[in-house]
Amino acid sequence: MDSTAFDLVDAHCHVDLFGKEEASVVEQIERRRVHTIAVTNTPSVFFHTRDLAVNKRYLYPAIGLHPELVDSRSHELDRLWPHLAETRFVGEVGLDYVTSDLDLRRKQRDVFSAILSRCADYGDRVITVHSRRSASDVIAAIGSNFQGTVILHWFSGTRRELERAATIGCWFSVNPTMIRSKSGRQLVELMPKDRVLTETDGPFVKIGNRGAIPSDALEAVRGLAEVWNEPVERTGAHILDNFRRAIAR
């Protein structure tokens, strides 16, 4: 297949965590035309990603506070609000219940709810959300009337939770690792096709022994084409159309 045939979508990538490869990753995003939501893990690093995105066509800088950093970085929450006025893209935010510390889980919920509430005030924010072992509480925090676009990244909850998330209007971004695992693929089969996007979660997702880069979203497109039993080109066009609807105001 001609790899330049369609624009790709990487709805969740940590562009700022590629170290010395960062410049070539950014260059490749533009050259290969990969619409990339560049998530950040703390407000103090957002300015860097925002600067990377200047004069770029395919890079969408997102302001975030990762749930696993809420304990050590919650003091940065006040630095998040001004950036929320600068970009429509928000992430990585959400909940992570790998911790069994109930106080910490509560602190994560307080931070996530505060961010959702400010986003709702704008009404058009596009939020990429982490929900490891916490899908029910993430869905409850979003609620059924949220104004904006919520993308559940690397969703790994139950079938029932997936159905609830779909019912309240959530989107799902799917990466190559999800497609490769049996449980991940079973969830992907249940996702509403008109609310599925691709992602890499690079550099955390691995392709062989290297960190995934945005153009590896093509692997997710190929996997989805198999699940949906259709030509890769059609899936690619469908994902791009989904992305345009996801970010439309």
Q: Draw the binding track, 91-120, toward Mn ion (x: CB under 5 A; -: no contact).
A: -x----------------------------
| 63 Cβ contact list (under 8 Å, min separation 6) | 40, 43, 46, 80, 83, 84, 86, 87, 89, 90, 91
Nearer Cβ to Mn ion (44/167): 44
Nearer Cβ to Mn ion (201/216): 201
Candidate list 137, 201, 216, 219; residue touching Mn ion; CB under 5 A: 201
Nearer Cβ to Mn ion (12/125): 12
Using the contact rule CB under 5 A, the part of the chain among 106-114, 158-166, 181-189, 195-203 near Mn ion is 195-203
Nearer Cβ to Mn ion (161/201): 201
DSSP H or E segment with residue 117? helix 102-122
Site for Mn ion in 53-92 (CB under 5 A): 92
List, in sequence order, every residue forming a beta bridge with 8; answer none if it has no partner. 34
Task: Report in angstroms how near the CB of residue 249 gets to Mn ion at its nearest.
Answer: 25
User: CA 149 → CA 114, 122, 123, 129, 246, distances in Å?
Assistant: 16, 11, 9, 10, 6
Task: Report in angstroms how near the CB of residue 39 gets to Mn ion at its nearest.
Answer: 6
Backbone angles phi, psi at 2, to 5 degrees: -70, 115
Task: Report in angstroms how near the CB of residue 201 gets to Mn ion at its nearest.
Answer: 5
Total residues at interface with Mn ion (CB under 5 A): 2
Nearer Cβ to Mn ion (15/142): 15
Find tokens 């955390």 and name the residue: 204
| 184 Cβ contact list (under 8 Å, min separation 6) | 156, 177, 178
User: Is residue 199 close enough to count as binding Mn ion by CB under 5 A?
Assistant: no
Nearer Cβ to Mn ion (10/201): 201
Q: Is 107 exposed, middle or buried (0-12, 13-18, 19+ CB in 10 A)?
A: middle
Tell me the residue nearest to Mn ion as measured from the CB.
Answer: 201
* Binding-site ranges for Mn ion (CB under 5 A): 92, 201
